[in-house]
Amino acid sequence: MHAALCTTLLLVLLVSCSRASGGNWAVIVSSSRYWLNYRHSSNAFGVYQAIRRLGIPDSNIILMVSEQPACSPRNVYAAQLYMSPGGGNTSSTSPLNLLSSDAEVDYRGRDVSVDSVLRVLTGHHLAGTPASKRLRSGPGSRVLLYLTGHGGDEFLKFHDEEELLAADLASAVHQMAAGGRYGQLLLVADTCQASTLYSQIDAPNMLAVASSKLGKSSYAHGYIDPVVGQHLVDQISLHLHTFLWRLPPHPAAPAALTHPADGGGSGGGRRAHGRRTSGGGGPSMQELISYITGQQLASEIEVQAERSPRRLGAMPVTDFFGAAADQMPTKHATADPVSMRSAAALTQLAQQDGGQSGIQQQQQQQHGKAVAECSSPMQTEQHWQDVPLFELLQAAGATVNSAQQQRHATEAAAVAAAWAVAVALSRLLLFRRWK
């Protein structure tokens, strides 16, 4: 009883501290599977690495990637992902490998679905979902929602099997607003007819940027890479990454992401930023929009700023793509040291009093994420809890089929033996009768 009370108080304390801290959060979604959609994974990882470089920690990023082309046997650069040509070498001019060793993916493969995206946004998770897979933002948080994949008029496709509808997205955002899950929201959609995805959203304090308008397509950048054999990145996502990469890195950024501000060869273009018109906070959102529209684009972007809390010229880019100005990123989204000591004391007391329940509570609160690396199933033991349901069913079906085959083989052998005995007896009787 005592242990249960302590663990409950610990959970409430950690959640309240996280909500009170506000900060900047990001949900990055790539909804496309298959090797031919290499560029959509590159889009997502490009934004992910750019915002990490500007100070948003992994504990505040939910990365959802339907496909990892870096792990495909067709990829000549094994376990590497690039958004510009020239990858795979170790020279100083080599572009950035987006799939760095410390990249953390929260949802991958079949776990990336319409249902999982809506649950992340609304907070309506299944029991046992770890903290690392939850958007723990609060009413003081700025939230970036980035979507990329194949889309159309008011939908975004997932795995070429299901669709996130504009009405579903609008409902989720309205629930977020009503539940105090954001203070300001930026939606960036890089897909065909992207502006239709937010056509039904009328929630407050929201800014939306779309790569294309109703009836228009969004396009890949450049030509098919002759080495990879696919387009490497989409136009809007490339220029967004380039602009962000030319900003100075945050002091707490991972060391691998702090090399020269040319994007590691991630793309050319004009100078990423000019006058600082956002009140000393670096280039503004208006400068970002002007930079992207100033490139040679095959599509026309659309910006919905009617419900934006501030003018675009007065809104620093890092309000959504970097660490909050009043908050240093930490490994865990916690509050002051006193709260940390209180949480640690409650954890210790729960472990001493309850044993197993304390361990379970720690497991629910841990921030361990799956590292985005390519590993063979023969090398990595996979627990059944981590296996998608459809794979469990297939495995169960294979086991049942194997058992049935064995039973059928045994029955056939028995029938054959009985038939042989019957034939032998019949021959014996006939022999005696004729004799």
Core vs surface per residue 98-110: b (16+ CB within 10 A) or e? bbbeebbbbbbeb
Neighbours of 293 (CB within 10 A): 12
Rg of the chain in Å (alpha carbons): 27
Q: For 70, how many CA atoms within 13 A lie in the half-sphere containing its CB?
A: 22
Distance CA(40)–CA(21), nearest Å, equals 32
How big is the CA angle at 54 (ends 52 and 58), to the nearest 5 degrees? 25
Calculate the CA 274 to chain-centre distance.
32
Helix/strand/coil percentages in the chain, nearest 5: 45, 10, 45
Nearest Cα residue to 112 out of 145, 153, 65, 155: 65
CA dihedral 51, 235, 190, 45 (to 10 degrees): -40
- Quick one: tokens of 357? 């329940």
Is residue 50 within 8 Å of residue 322, measured between CB atoms?
no
Is residue 313 within 8 Å of residue 284, measured between CB atoms?
yes
Is residue 122 within 8 Å of residue 175, measured between CB atoms?
yes
Q: What is the length of the chain? A: 435
Read out DSSP for 286-334? HHHHHHHHTS--SS--EEE-TT-SS-GGGSBTHHHHS--TT----SS--
**Residue written as tokens 């033991």?**
381
Nearest Cα residue to 36 out of 66, 63, 80, 78: 66
| φ, ψ dihedrals at 108, nearest 5° | -140, 160
Question: Catalytic residue positions?
Answer: 150, 192
Longest CA–CA span in the chain (Å) reads 118
